[in-house]
Amino acid sequence: MRTLAITKRVLKELLRDKQTLALMFIAPILILVLMSFIFSSNQTIDVKIGTVTVGQTLDQDLAKTKHVTVKHYATKKAAAHALKKQRVDATLRETNGNYHLTYANTDSSKTAAVKMAFKNAVTNAQTTGLKNKLVQATTALVTLKQQLPAAMQAKLPAQAAPKTQTPKVTNHYIYGNSKTGFFDKILPILIGFFVFFFVFLISGMALLRERTSGTLDRLLATPVKRSEIVFGYMLGYGVIGVLQTIVIVLASVWLLNVEVVGSLFSLVVVNLVLALVALACGILLSTFASSEFQMMQFMPIVVIPQVFFSGIIPLASMASWVRAISAVIPIKYSGDASTQIMMFGTPLSRLGFDVGILLIFLLILTVLNIVGLRRYRKA
């Protein structure tokens, strides 16, 4: 009977907590719906190949390949410039019957798609060439037989299949090497995700603890302004966030031995801005939670969508309206900026859009935090 009484009390408390019930039942459904949109999307990979002095047959076979776009360049320099500017995923150059393939290699799936398309195109081109040579040889032999007496025709040797020389293929990689895989592509996004996740969790839990213990109420009873309280908390937790961000970034790069083409300082700066956004977000959501348990329930709503729409799953394969959701995902912008720094060596001065959007997120969340303190004090 005592067990049943405790069970009844727990159920009554849960039924009174409408926020907990909503998060328990609505959050899983929301996540499942998002996953259905993402994983049922088109998973084909479109690639662009720049060609220089490539034979007509091979060029046509490449152009006929599904999901492959061929762009022609007059010089090797022009093709290399297009590859550097990310206008193509790889370049193909033919010299004396041999081929030189250069891959951007920032996406291992695109590198594999280019290799497969080139292999199929070469096979088709060789097959077409053999057929043409065989037809020519057969025609020439028939003509020759018609011109010779019958006695000499019997002495002609049997027709041999024409021989073809296997072309030499040389592969070059702008980023990484042939062993560069999918993990290298998503690492810049994963760094941002872990920075956001832990800073969000720590800041939200810490401020909630101060509020439930009465520390925040005592602070609000003083003449201190709301803005000063918010900035004080952000600076205090921000110091820990800065140290945590530096550790995560340096460990990810040095411990995992990942190549960083650009500035490591720029990479740290981008993720520091993201950490401040996570800090402001954690403080804001902690004002809506009455317990640490409720704070944890915000994780599926805030953190999980960050994974789905950050770019870990290719956004190009999703519907346009699904991609539009990523516009409000901070990790997407930090991931884009980190990818540009790590894989293309883009300087921080050219990443103004991504960094600017993160600063806008930070500004909006900070203002909302200041306004949110009105729940506890009118001042």
The confidence score (pLDDT) of residue 289 equals: 74
Domain final residue, candidates 149, 173, 197: 173
Domain final residue, candidates 124, 142, 173: 173
Please indicate, yes or no, if residue 35 is contained in any of the structural domains: no
| pLDDT, tens digit (0-9, with 9 covering 90-100), for 3-53 | 777 777 767 766 776 766 666 667 667 766 766 666 665 566 788 999 988
Please indicate, yes or no, if residue 33 is contained in any of the structural domains: no
- Looking at the structure, tell me whether residues 149 and 240 fall in a common domain: no
Q: What is the pTM of this model?
A: 0.75
- Looking at the structure, tell me whether residues 138 and 219 fall in a common domain: no
Checking if the pLDDT of 118 tops 70, the result is yes
- Looking at the structure, tell me whether residues 167 and 186 fall in a common domain: no
Please indicate, yes or no, if residue 32 is contained in any of the structural domains: no
- Looking at the structure, tell me whether residues 164 and 236 fall in a common domain: no
Sequence-distant (≥ 6) Cβ neighbours of residue 88 within 8 angstroms? 48, 49, 50, 71, 79, 82, 104
Average pLDDT over residues 110-126: 84
Of 320 and 70, more confident:
70
Are β-strands 47-52 and 90-95 bridged in parallel, bridged antiparallel, or unpaired?
parallel
Instruction: Assign residue 98 the CATH number of its domain.
Output: 3.40.1710
- Looking at the structure, tell me whether residues 192 and 271 fall in a common domain: yes
- Looking at the structure, tell me whether residues 278 and 341 fall in a common domain: yes
Of 165 and 63, more confident:
63
- Looking at the structure, tell me whether residues 150 and 239 fall in a common domain: no
Nearest-angstrom CA–CA distance, 271 and 192? 6
Please indicate, yes or no, if residue 17 is contained in any of the structural domains: no
Token digits of residue 49? 């190949």
Please indicate, yes or no, if residue 66 is contained in any of the structural domains: yes
Please indicate, yes or no, if residue 1 is contained in any of the structural domains: no
The confidence score (pLDDT) of residue 17 equals: 67
Please indicate, yes or no, if residue 250 is contained in any of the structural domains: yes
Nearest-angstrom CA–CA distance, 93 and 244? 46
Identify the H or E element spanning 76.
helix 76-84
- Looking at the structure, tell me whether residues 207 and 266 fall in a common domain: yes
- Looking at the structure, tell me whether residues 215 and 343 fall in a common domain: yes
Average pLDDT over residues 217-227: 74
The confidence score (pLDDT) of residue 299 equals: 75
Q: 179-191 burial, b for 16+ CB within 10 Å, e for fewer?
A: ebeeebbbbbbbb
Domain final residue, candidates 142, 173, 204: 173
Give the domain range for residue 301. Answer: 181-375
Average pLDDT over residues 272-280: 90
Please indicate, yes or no, if residue 110 is contained in any of the structural domains: yes
Number of independent structural domains in the chain: 2
CA-closest candidate to residue 300, choices 33, 3, 1, 69? 33
Nearest-angstrom CA–CA distance, 92 and 114? 10
- Looking at the structure, tell me whether residues 209 and 326 fall in a common domain: yes
- Looking at the structure, tell me whether residues 317 and 217 fall in a common domain: yes
The confidence score (pLDDT) of residue 352 equals: 92
| pLDDT, tens digit (0-9, with 9 covering 90-100), for 314-369 | 776 666 777 777 888 899 999 999 999 998 889 999 999 999 999 999 999 988 88
**Residue 375 CB: number of other CB atoms within 10 A?**
9
- Looking at the structure, tell me whether residues 164 and 196 fall in a common domain: no
The confidence score (pLDDT) of residue 180 equals: 80
Checking if the pLDDT of 240 tops 60, the result is yes
Checking if the pLDDT of 379 tops 50, the result is no
User: CB-hemisphere CA count at 13 Å for 295?
Assistant: 23
The confidence score (pLDDT) of residue 260 equals: 86
**Residue 299 CB: number of other CB atoms within 10 A?**
16
